[in-house]
Chains A and B, each alone.
Chain A
Amino acid sequence: METNATDTFELSEEARAEIDRVVPRYPEIRSAALPVLYIVQGEKGYLSNEAIEWVSARLELEPINIYELVTFYPMLLREPTGKRHVKVCRTLSCALNGAYRVCDRFREAFDCELDEVSPDGAVTVEYVECIASCHTAPVVQIDEELYHNVDEDRTEELIQMIRSETKSGS
Chain B
Amino acid sequence: MPHPKERRLLLSHADEPGYTGSYEDYTARGGYKTLEAAIRREPAEIKKEVLDANIRGRGGALFPAGRKWGFLDPNSDKPVYLICNADESEPGTFKDRQLIHKDPHQLIEGMMISAYATGTKLAFIYIRGEMFGGARILEEAIEKARANNLVGENILGSGYSCDLIVHRGAGSYICGEETGLIESLEGKRPYPRLKPPFFPAAKGLYMCPTIVNNVETLCQVKHAVELGGKEYAKIGVPNCTGTRIWSLSGHVNNPGYFEVEGGAYTFGDLIYDMGGGLREGRSLLGFIPGGSSTKVIKYDQRYRGKLQDGTEVDWGVEDIPLDCDGCNYFGSSSGSAAVMVMDDTTDVVMALANLNAFYAHESCGQCTPCREGSLWLKKITHRMIAGEAREEDADLLKSIADQVEGRTICAHGEAVAWPVQGFILRFRDEFIDYARRQARERAAREQETTAAVA
Contact = CB atoms under 8 A, between A and B. Distances in A.
A134 B92 contact: yes
A132 B86 CA distance: 11
B185 A75 contact: no
B362 interface: yes
Contact of A129 (B93, B190, B206, B358): B358
Interface string A88-125: 00111101110000000000000000000000000000
A89 B92 CA distance: 12
A77 to B, nearest CB: 10
Main secondary structure of the interface of A (DSSP, over half): mixed
Contacts of A129: 89, 91, 173, 358, 361-362
B129 interface: yes
B: interface residue count bin? 35 or more
Contacts of B88: 132
Interface in A128-165: 128-137, 141, 144, 146
A72 B189 CA distance: 7
Main secondary structure of the interface of B (DSSP, over half): mixed
A16 interface: no
Contact of B340 (A27, A92, A128): A92
A169 interface: no
Contact of A93 (B92, B132, B190): B92
A9 interface: no
A38 B100 CA distance: 21
Nearest to A74: B171
Interface residues of A, number: 42
B171 A134 contact: no
Contact of B186 (A31, A35, A141): A31
B256 interface: yes
Contacts of B206: 27-28
A35 B340 CA distance: 34
B189 A68 contact: yes
Nearest to B291: A130
A57 interface: no
Which of A95, A133, A134 has its CB near the most chain B CB atoms (within 10 A)?
Answer: A134
Contacts of B128: 132
Given A33-B187, A133-B97, A128 B168 contact: no
Contact of A141 (B130, B185, B256): B130
Contact of B94 (A73, A95, A132): A132
Contact of B171 (A73, A132, A133): A73
Interface in B182-212: 184-190, 206
A135 B255 contact: yes
Contacts of B94: 132-135
B446 to A, nearest CB: 29
A76 B184 CA distance: 14
18 contacts: A25-B163, A25-B165, A27-B206, A28-B187, A31-B167, A65-B188, A68-B188, A75-B129, A92-B340, A93-B91, A93-B340, A95-B351, A128-B130, A132-B88, A132-B94, A133-B94, A136-B255, A144-B132
Given A28-B187, A28-B206, A75-B130, 8 more contacts: A72-B190, A75-B171, A91-B292, A92-B288, A95-B354, A130-B91, A130-B92, A137-B249
Interface of A: 25-28, 30-35, 37-38, 59, 65, 68-69, 72-76, 87, 90-93, 95-97, 128-137, 141, 144, 146
Interface of B: 79, 88-94, 96-97, 122, 128-133, 163, 165, 167-173, 184-190, 206, 247-251, 255-257, 288, 292, 338, 340, 342, 346, 350-351, 354-355, 357-358, 361-362
Nearest 9 A/B pairs, CB to CB: A73-B170, A134-B249, A30-B187, A74-B171, A33-B187, A75-B171, A144-B132, A130-B91, A135-B255
